Amino acid sequence: MGTKQFKAESKRLLEMMINSIYTHKEIFLRELISNASDAIDKLYFKSLTDTSIGLNKDDFEINIEVDKEKRILTISDNGIGMTKDELENNLGTIAKSGSLAFKNDNNLDGDVDIIGQFGVGFYSAFMVAKKVTVVSKAYGEDKAHIWKSSGVSGYTIDEYDSDMKAGTVITLEIKENTDEENYDEFLEQYRIQSLVKKYSDYIRFPIKMEMERTEYPEKKEGEDKEPEPITVKEIVTLNSMVPIWKKNKSELKDEDYNSFYTDKFADYEAPITHIHSKNEGIATYDALLFIPSKAPFDYYTKNYKKGLQLYSSGVMIMDCCEDLLPDYFNFVKGLVDSQDLSLNISREMLQHDRQVKIIAKNIEKSIKNELSKMLKNKREDYEKFFKAFGLNLKFGIYQSYGMAKDTLQDLLLFKSSFEGKMVTLDEYVSRMKDDQKYIYYACGESEARIDMLPQTEAVKDKGYEILYFTDDVDEFTIKMIMNYKEKEFKSISASDLDLTTDEEKEEVKKKTEDSKGMFDYMKEALGDKVSEVRLSSKLKTHPVCLSSDGQVSIEMEKVLNSMPQNGDNKVKSEKALEINASHPIYDKLTSLYDSDKDKLKIYAELLYNQALLIEGMSIENPLEFSNQICDLMV
């Protein structure tokens, strides 16, 4: 068969691997061993129910061979193997997980980033090998196939005559040393041994290698010469085979957890924290959970799948068990291993399994505890976490109609006017002023935008802290929380924002009575755009603002109307136009009411449109607005 070309993306990755200046080329071994182990996992799982496979757990192994003279390193496994099509699809095309890193073309310049931290998979072999050969036979097939490639020029796949059993043999022709690079090390048994210990110790199947050892026999009595040293060859198992979650926490360092995570969950950044728990009692299980440092690129899309790996006494039975995680903690990665679960449990049965439910409840609790602990003791980490996943916690409260509020409300952070920091609700409430009744918040596109709202000034002036709601979901979330430590939330745009003294109220009341006719006239002029035109005492220096009267706030109107599912069913908030009682515009309006009612009408429209612009809403007829202003100018 002729030489085939790699897919464009794969070719680029391959090029990168071949020319890599990356210093940790050694990770290629971890990648190949991890693939071998996955392949064995698959066949082992099959063998539990299919006795015709004829293999027991102890029969499965990964073998490493080194031939120093020929510069050949071989890694073989007796796992599930690959058919011809699978060889084509899996090795001719870069695996899906890898293409992720590729999305970001910037990364292409610095190969260090992708290679070092990403699971770059099979292709990493090309960092150390000038030629790679894969012989594989899929379980259940009669024929084996051979895949060969010396790099970017392409690859070949041919039938391969062999009486091998199912499995895969990967042969690497190791590169020659150059001035800068030493490749010989990958042909040294002791180096290989230490790499396996470092990266692949937990692999559940034995990784075996024939090693040479020199023995120095004791001098026997009566001999006068030291006996010659002898070379002993023996097959050594390089890994301890204890899965990391079965080890004692005291034996493990952060590094161990981190490299297990990046390896297993194809992330390139270490997790922000891990939770390792061993439980006995109603449910006996080990759990190893990770909270990633960053949201995966597809996290906020439908494609993202939540779930934990599920093991039954060390055998993986499900790659992604959704039932173990609530939606609001869907960012958690990890695994659960329980002896209480049957190997043959189906997805449907799992959903109703009592054990699984108990485990899920416990897991939820330990995630919550871990996050609370981080919030308390490692604020910086927590804020980083919150930046990545906070939105999901807010959605959690909203989507549960508040049912999850007890779990989640203390994990929320909001930007606050207090020193411009992120604060918890508890922090806010604990420093509320004695006369302060409410938790004040303001909605807007950005902090800067909120600071420009006329109402912000008055609240700040009172010395009250304001929470800045810049995410669409914020106000919806708070409506579900309703109150926190018996304090209600109050939008600074609410019509009943009550900051005034009795004296001020009295004055506004009097002015309102005096100008009732005028306000009615203005309301008439604006029609159903506003529910009322009235005087306000909550404005300091600004002439006007909008206030929302009903359940739906102005911000909610914006958010709801921007959602595609709402279509033409536009939501409308009840808006009142408020005029600053102590602004000169008030006097101007009253005089126009007496002298020029037509002009007052135009002023009413102008003020309304100004208020809309301040709120960050668009105005219905910008042309008219502009003409009206021009008319006043000329």
Instruction: Name the residues that contact ligand ADP, by CB under 6 A.
Output: 31, 35-36, 39, 77, 79-82, 90, 95, 97, 119, 121-122, 168
Q: Assess contact for 104 and 196: CB atoms under 8 A.
A: no
Return the sign of the alpha-carbon dihedral for residues 402, 403, 406, 408.
negative
User: How many angstroms separate the CA atoms of 492 and 416, rounded?
Assistant: 14
102 vs 418 by CB, closer to ligand ADP: 102
Pairwise CA distance, residues 46 & 590, whole Å: 87
* DSSP tag of 85: H
Give DSSP secondary structure letters for 544-599.
Answer: EEEEE-SSS-HHHHHHHHHSGGGTT------EEEEEETTSHHHHHHHHHHHH-HHH
Distance from the first to the final alpha carbon of the chain: 84
Based on CB atoms, which residue is closest to ligand ADP, 154 or 402? 154
Helix (H/G/I), strand (E/B), else coil: 338: strand
The least distance separating ligand ADP from the CB of residue 473, rounded to whole angstroms, comes to 34
Minimum CB separation of residue 16 from ligand ADP in Å reads: 14
Nearer to ligand ADP, 39 or 356 (CB): 39
Beta-strand relationship, 438-443 and 487-491:
parallel
Alpha carbons within 13 A on the beta-carbon side of 99: 11
Mark out the alpha helices in 142-286 (DSSP H runs): 189-200, 254-264
CB of 97 to ligand ADP, least distance (A): 4
Nearest approach, Cβ of residue 141 and ligand ADP (Å): 13
Nearer to ligand ADP by Cβ, of 122 and 469: the residue is: 122
Q: How far is the CB of 230 from ligand ADP (least distance, A)?
A: 36
In the complex with ligand ADP, the residue whose CB is nearer, 124 or 515, is 124
To ligand ADP, the closest distance from the beta carbon of 309 in angstroms equals 15
Instruction: Considering the complex, state which of residue 114 and residue 423 has its C-beta at the smaller distance from ligand ADP.
Output: 114
Q: Shortest distance, CB of residue 155 to ligand ADP, whole angstroms?
A: 13
Which ranges of 159-293 would DSSP assign to H, the alpha helix? Answer: 189-200, 254-264
Sheet holding 422-423, edge to edge: 422-423, 414-416, 466-469, 438-443, 487-491, 483-484
Supply the minimum distance, in Å, between the C-beta of residue 566 and ligand ADP.
Answer: 40
Nearest residue (CB) to ligand ADP, 100 versus 552: 100
Rounded to the nearest whole angstrom, what is the least distance from the CB of residue 383 to ligand ADP in the complex? 32
- DSSP letter at 131 equals E
Whether the CA torsion 521, 522, 526, 530 is positive or negative: it is negative
Cα separation, 556 vs 341, in Å, equals 46
- Give the integer Cα–Cα distance in Å for 254 and 390: 24
Whole-angstrom distance, CA of residue 545 vs CA of residue 610: 8
d(CA 614, CA 451): 11
Structure token pair of residue 90: 């899996």
Question: Is the four-CA dihedral 272, 278, 279, 284 of positive or negative sign?
Answer: positive
Q: How far is the CB of 125 from ligand ADP (least distance, A)?
A: 9
Instruction: Indicate the SS3 state at residue 6.
Output: coil
Q: Which CB, 168 or 409, lies closer to ligand ADP?
A: 168
Closest CB to ligand ADP: residue number:
121
For residue 269, what are the CA distances in angstroms to 266, 452, 565? 9, 38, 36
CB closer to ligand ADP, 80 vs 128? 80
CB nearer to ligand ADP: give 95 or 192: 95
Alpha-helical regions (H) of 316-446: 347-352, 354-377, 379-399, 405-408, 425-430
CB of 32 to ligand ADP, least distance (A): 7
* Cβ-based nearer residue to ligand ADP, 319 or 406: 319
Q: Which CB atom, from 296 or from 402, has the smaller least distance to ligand ADP?
A: 296
Q: Which helix (H) or strand (E) holds 214?
A: strand 207-215
Residue 309 sits at φ, ψ, to 5 deg, of: -75, 145
Minimum CB separation of residue 91 from ligand ADP in Å reads: 6
Least Å distance between CB 25 and ligand ADP? 16
Beta-bridge mates of residue 135 = 146, 169
Joined tokens for residue 49: 């129910």
For ligand ADP, give the closer residue by CB, 250 or 303.
303
